[in-house]
Chain A
């Protein structure tokens, strides 16, 4: 009966019901079939939402918006472009690295798509990169925002599964570095073979600036990841406090150093961030209640028992979980996979001896693949809108990037636990 709830969720989302209200409908269904008392159900959902660690989410989302409007993203791109200019596939690689650094500040993928994409898609096209290819590369590299801490996805996963956010943040650094390296190599392989890079058509806007002036200008932007990650792993502040520091630092840098942020843009960013936060939190409120009902009715445990009677080999179970998470990501949005599907599979995965923090990294990798895999590929669609290209032109490059880079990274993360657990252990986060 609980599984029918998941099916209902998929159907409602597939026909275009907003995700939050699809969750509300599933909640209504579960309340009806399990005859749940409504008196305290919403109160329990509210209490789960009323959590200090969750405050990091609106703050990191706001920091992302402020970075975009405050000129921080542009300085990052200029700096990285300067480092890799002249090399084969340099501009594509700089988009990958810029997305990674952007992810180390904002915590969201869409922030990276919008900020890095709007700056880089034009120059990439001028240099001969096909728009479909560059949109696909933008889509998958922006998902480094999910893997590189701070990550909104990992905050949500940590809250619903009650795991250490600091350890989860650190667990995705290894897979993120692998993905970044893989994408750079993939891009280097494609340039010159699938299309040629036209170095003569580069509009060198930065030619008048020296390398030093570009570096100097980028220093405040580059200090943000150090401030956030150093604060968290240096034991100076919690992820929530680091998020508040990031917001204040982004305002100060945007207003007083780069002078690109004004009151009008600040207001716009705050409202946009509030709206984004609202959409996520409403989904989370309903998912908390759904999760509580499913746990109370022992649905995850029953599912675990059922699957382990069919398959006993831990490797096969992990492969099944990988496949299921990717399939779920292909037909559901990443938020639903993180807050509903992933916790459901957690008892099964833990029963095979996998550490919950390691499982968090596996989920993050599956979200990266799912968010770029059609039919439901929100980040790829967004990248195509920014790249001004039809989705059909970006699908094949995106699929190749997933097969050649994304899947191997997920498999390595799944079957070599040290890839995800080495850094949290080294930092003493677990």
Chain B
């Protein structure tokens, strides 16, 4: 059973990594192309910023799922560093995971409400007519991803922070 879940996790990780690479390439490429187009080709690409923004929202949200999967969300790990008893530490990790399950559940509820509204009143971007539901789907995916990994942390008792990481500022 554990082997099965591990192989699913690896497959999910590969898909997430590919998505991060694709979206990062689009964001960088499109913005860089806008500069080149303006100064060298003297050409204005209408809607380029819309493509970059839609890709960026996917990049942000997939990045957030990758961080949840690798337990690398920004954490103030001051308290856990001072807990020496293994039993207390396990208890602490379960408590944090439980809070995360509740908050990610709330995030899903928010997304559910948003989708109800977005489906009733569909909107598109002004230039290329990209449906707003496309970037919103990324937020939905992030809410489900966050919830899934919070449940994983609750069941396995895994720490929701990585003590060896080099945090970001």
Contacts and interface: CB of A to CB of B under 8 A. Distances in A.
Interface of A: 12-22, 24-25, 27-28, 38-43, 46, 49-52, 54-55, 58-59, 61-62, 108-111, 113-114, 143, 145-146, 152-153, 236-237, 240-241, 243-245, 247-248, 267, 270-271, 273-283, 285, 332-335, 371, 375-376, 378-379, 381-382, 385-386
Interface string B106-139: 1101110110111000000000000000011001
A62 B27 CA distance: 11
A40 B114 CA distance: 6
A313 to B, nearest CB: 34
Q: Which of B17, B25, B75 has the most CB of A within 10 A?
A: B75
Nearest to A113: B166
B56 A279 contact: no
Contacts of A245: 32, 35
B61 interface: yes
B81 to A, nearest CB: 9
Contact of B27 (A12, A59, A236): A59
A21 B99 contact: yes
B27 A55 contact: yes
Contact of B66 (A14, A21, A271): A271
Contacts of B74: 18-20, 279-280, 283, 333, 335, 378
A281 B60 contact: yes
A244 B110 contact: no
A389 B102 CA distance: 37
22 contacts: A14-B79, A16-B76, A17-B75, A24-B107, A25-B99, A42-B110, A43-B114, A43-B118, A46-B139, A52-B49, A54-B56, A58-B24, A110-B169, A146-B169, A237-B35, A276-B67, A279-B63, A279-B72, A282-B67, A282-B73, A333-B76, A375-B78
Interface string B1-35: 00000000000000001001101110110011011
Given A110-B166, A376-B76, A16 B102 contact: no
Interface residues of B, number: 67
A52 B34 CA distance: 13
Contacts of A113: 166
B159 to A, nearest CB: 9
Contact of B166 (A17, A24, A382): A382
A42 B169 contact: no
B31 A271 contact: no
Given A46-B135, A46-B139, A110-B166, A278 B60 contact: yes
A268 to B, nearest CB: 10
Interface string B132-162: 0001100100100010001000000000110
Contact of A241 (B31, B65, B100, B103): B31
B100 A43 contact: no
B103 A25 contact: yes
B169 A50 contact: no
Contacts of A55: 27, 31, 52-53, 56
A394 to B, nearest CB: 14
Given A274-B24, A378-B169, A241 B63 contact: no
B153 to A, nearest CB: 10
A39 B119 CA distance: 12
A12 B96 CA distance: 9
Contacts of A39: 113-114, 116-117
Nearest to B24: A270
B141 to A, nearest CB: 12
A334 B74 CA distance: 11
A274 B59 CA distance: 7
B102 A109 contact: no
Contacts of B56: 54-55, 58
Contact of B62 (A41, A50, A274, A280): A274
Q: Which of B25, B70, B99 has the most CB of A within 10 A?
A: B99
A17 B99 contact: yes
Contact of A145 (B24, B28, B106, B169): B169
Contacts of B116: 39
Nearest to B52: A55
Contacts of B62: 274, 278
Given A41-B110, A110-B167, A273 B24 contact: yes
Contacts of B53: 50-52, 55
Contact of B168 (A16, A20, A248, A279): A279
Contacts of B39: 236
Nearest to A280: B168
Contacts of A20: 64, 73-74
Contact of A275 (B70, B103, B104, B136): B70
A58 B27 contact: yes
Contact of B135 (A50, A59, A333): A50
B60 A282 contact: yes
A102 to B, nearest CB: 13
B167 A18 contact: no
B140 to A, nearest CB: 10
A28 B31 contact: no
A32 B166 CA distance: 35
Contacts of B114: 38-43, 46
